[in-house]
Amino acid sequence: MKKILLGLILIIGINASADTYRDVIASTPVYDTEIIKRPHTESYQVRVEKRIPCGYEYIKKEKNGLGALTGAVIGGIIGNQIGGGTGKDIATGIGVIAGANIGDSYNSNSYKKVQKYCIEYSYETRYRTTYTNEYVKHQIGYNNWFWYKHKKYKKFSRYKLDKIKIKEKIEF
């Protein structure tokens, strides 16, 4: 029976594991950096220009010939009503010239009313927010250094360790 069991063990193989411990030779802190944006509000003055109504001014209208043309037509019609024959033609001509002069002088003596604006300056306080980055380090744990089979390894943990547990697989 022992021979059969030993034969099965050799054919199938047995896997075993053993725990060994190694001394930690150094522990170095590990940090994480958090960026915090800090707002800063600052005020500043701005010069503001406002247009405010401050009365009226009268501006002479430009001559556009419309008054003279209207006066000439009306003067010609009135002059045509006076006289007869050649006198009628002369009266029409005089009426056209007189009407054009009257219409032109009426047009040039007219004014238009225009709103006058004054500029008022004032200062307003305005605000702007700027941000500065603040870098805050938080310790998140330790890298624990140890030797195993002539090589240097590290294992991260939240705390400093004195010893590291290593599982070794042993095969038969």
Residues 56 and 76 in one domain: no
Residues 56 and 26 in one domain: yes
Residues 117 and 159 in one domain: yes
Residues 166 and 93 in one domain: no
Structural domain span for residue 75: 62-109
CA distance 165 to 153: 12
Residues 50 and 128 in one domain: yes
Residue 112 structure tokens: 């238009």
With b for 16 or more beta-carbon neighbours within 10 A and e for fewer, the 14-28 pattern comes to eeeeeeeebebeebe
Residues 41 and 80 in one domain: no
Residues 123 and 53 in one domain: yes
The answer to which of 32-36, 52-56, 60-64, 105-109 has the lowest mean pLDDT is 105-109
Write phi, then psi, for 84 (nearest 5 degrees).
Answer: -150, 155
Residues 16 and 40 in one domain: yes
Residues 72 and 94 in one domain: yes
In the chain, the number of structural domains is 2
pTM over 0.85: no
Residues 115 and 43 in one domain: yes
Name the band, by pLDDT with cuts 50, 70 and 90, for residue 70. confident
List Cα–Cα distances, 98 to 38, 85, 118, in angstroms: 84, 20, 43
pLDDT at 31 over 90: yes
Write phi, then psi, for 77 (nearest 5 degrees).
Answer: -65, -45
CA distance 153 to 144: 8
Residues 42 and 66 in one domain: no
Residues 105 and 124 in one domain: no
Q: What is the pLDDT of residue 141?
A: 95
**What residues contact 117, with CB distance under 8 A and at least 6 apart?**
51, 52, 53, 54
Residue 118 structure tokens: 């004054």
Summarised one tens digit per residue, pLDDT across range 91-114 is 667 776 777 777 777 666 667 788
